[in-house]
């Protein structure tokens, strides 16, 4: 059986090479073609690709989030469909929109998802390979090798992927593409925006465990747009009071009576007034819920880092200070997203807990 394996971009190429090795181990009668391996120096690349697509019985597409709109994949799939070859898309990443672009020949092809529990069964059936004990061992090694490739090419720690995906689906945060470095996502704009807090609240509601906010005024939270969040937090606080499993919510305000208020904003009187109004709103939300009240504290330190913990994700930024030591506005500035499990994430947790322990409870 001759199989053509189509790929585009580096991660997909690694998947393709590994699949060639895997298929030929499972069945010695399979001859798998991968352009990176099987086209020799000096050969006409396009001519060879066309020749191998014509010869093959099945064409396999190695899809990732990075290459789902690749012209090469589209061309090879379309050509194979045109001469009535069997086309099998393999989805290595979870992506519900992998075939949503216009005139995609994959709209009529049934995909196989690596992330599904039945991937091995679907895969073996598609290539008429027997589900033997020895093949299961080969398959398990193949699965491990794919997971390693995925991890090697991961832009962001797995604990942060879902939240970063949420941000990437919101155009507020992708006017300029984020930068990925050392498993951290650097967004160039959008910090302390309503959209960011909206994504945080939606990610936390009903499924989240940790939400820690090291703020100053926290005006975005208490502007009247997050009633559902506070209703949920108060119910969870009551659950804790009744001895049920709850959540861990912590919110830090700058203490309006502290010396830091005098340098926290270029307009001290306005800032202090706004801070006191927001704290009053927070107290109104708390009401007579003594458990919920313990989730809020007032700190007096100079805030040189902005830390939000959302479960296993840290949303982080640093304020810029002017010549007088006053922090500049942070709305729509850049920020980073990284894992709590990382070394930097652990330092952020230590910093937050230190400030929290030194802060005082609300009156």
Neighbours of 345 (CB within 10 A): 22
Q: Which of 228-237, 248-257, 340-349 has the lowest mean pLDDT?
A: 228-237
pTM of the predicted model as reported, rounded to 2 decimal places? 0.68
Structure tokens at 161: 């992927």
Question: What radius of gyration, in Å, describes the C-alpha atoms of the chain?
Answer: 27
Neighbours of 195 (CB within 10 A): 15
pLDDT recorded at residue 102: 47
Residue 58 clears pLDDT 90, i.e. is over it:
yes
Q: Is 245 exposed, middle or buried (0-12, 13-18, 19+ CB in 10 A)?
A: exposed
Q: Tens of pLDDT along 7-24?
A: 999 999 999 999 999 999
Q: In 3-state terms, what secondary structure has residue 223?
A: coil
Using CA atoms, how far residue 246 sits from 41, 93, 284, 292, in Å, is 63, 33, 22, 11
Q: Tens of pLDDT along 126-149?
A: 988 888 888 889 889 999 999 999
Q: Read off φ and ψ for residue 113, nearest 5 degrees.
A: -100, 125
- β-pair type (248-254, 210-214): parallel
Q: State how far the Cα of 128 lies from the Cα of 325, in Å rounded to an integer.
A: 70
pLDDT recorded at residue 296: 95
Q: Tens of pLDDT along 165-183?
A: 888 888 777 666 688 888 8
- Residues in the chain, overall count: 363
Q: Give the CA count within 13 Å in the CB-facing half-sphere of 179.
A: 8
Q: In 3-state terms, what secondary structure has residue 58?
A: strand
Neighbours of 202 (CB within 10 A): 13
Q: State how far the Cα of 342 lies from the Cα of 355, in Å rounded to an integer.
A: 20
Q: Give the CA count within 13 Å in the CB-facing half-sphere of 160.
A: 26
Q: Tens of pLDDT along 90-132?
A: 999 877 666 655 456 566 678 899 988 889 889 988 988 888 8
Query: Could you give all domains of the chain from N- to C-terminal order, each with its CATH number?
Result: 2-152 (3.40.50.10140), 158-361 (3.30.870.10)
- Sign, CA dihedral 344-346-347-351, equals positive
Calculate the CA dihedral of residues 140, 143, 145, 148 and round it to 10 degrees.
-130
Give Cβ neighbours of residue 83 (< 8 Å, ≥ 6 apart).
Answer: 53, 54
Mean pLDDT for 288-309 is 90
Percent of the chain having pLDDT more than 90? 44
């Amino acid at each position: 059986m001759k199989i053509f394996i189509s790929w585009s971009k580096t991660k997909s190429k690694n998947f393709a090479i590994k699949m060639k090795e895997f298929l030929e181990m499972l069945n010695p009668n399979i001859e798998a073609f991968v352009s990176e391996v099987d086209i020799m120096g000096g050969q006409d690349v396009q001519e060879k690709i066309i020749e191998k697509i014509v010869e093959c019985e099945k064409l396999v597409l190695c899809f990732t989030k990075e290459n789902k709109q690749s012209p090469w994949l589209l061309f090879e799939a379309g050509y194979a469909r045109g001469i009535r070859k069997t086309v099998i898309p393999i989805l290595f990443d979870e992506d519900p929109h992998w075939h949503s672009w216009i005139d995609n020949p994959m709209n009529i092809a049934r995909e196989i998802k690596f992330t599904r529990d039945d991937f091995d069964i679907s895969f073996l059936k598609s290539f008429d390979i027997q589900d033997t004990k020895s093949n299961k061992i080969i398959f398990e090694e193949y699965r491990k090798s794919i997971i390693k490739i995925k991890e090697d090419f991961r832009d962001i720690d797995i604990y942060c992927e879902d939240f970063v995906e949420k941000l990437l689906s919101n155009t507020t945060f992708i006017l300029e593409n984020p930068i990925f470095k050392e498993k951290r996502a650097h967004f160039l704009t959008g910090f302390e925006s309503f959209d960011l807090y909206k994504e945080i609240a939606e990610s936390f509601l009903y499924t989240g465990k940790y939400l820690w906010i090291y703020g100053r005024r926290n005006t975005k939270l208490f502007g009247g747009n997050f009633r559902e969040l506070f209703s949920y937090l108060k119910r969870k606080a009551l659950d804790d009071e009744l001895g049920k499993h709850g959540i861990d919510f912590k919110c830090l305000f700058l203490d309006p009576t502290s010396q830091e208020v005098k340098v926290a904003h270029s307009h001290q009187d306005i800032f202090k007034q706004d801070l006191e109004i927001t704290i009053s709103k927070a107290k109104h939300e708390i009401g007579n819920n003594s458990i919920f009240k313990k989730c809020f504290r007032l700190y007096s330190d100079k805030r040189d880092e902005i830390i939000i913990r959302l479960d296993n994700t840290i949303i982080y930024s640093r304020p810029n200070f002017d010549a007088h030591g006053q922090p500049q506005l942070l709305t729509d500035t850049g920020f980073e997203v990284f894992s709590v499990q990382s070394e930097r994430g652990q330092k952020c947790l230590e910093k937050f807990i230190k400030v929290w322990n030194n802060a005082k409870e609300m009156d």
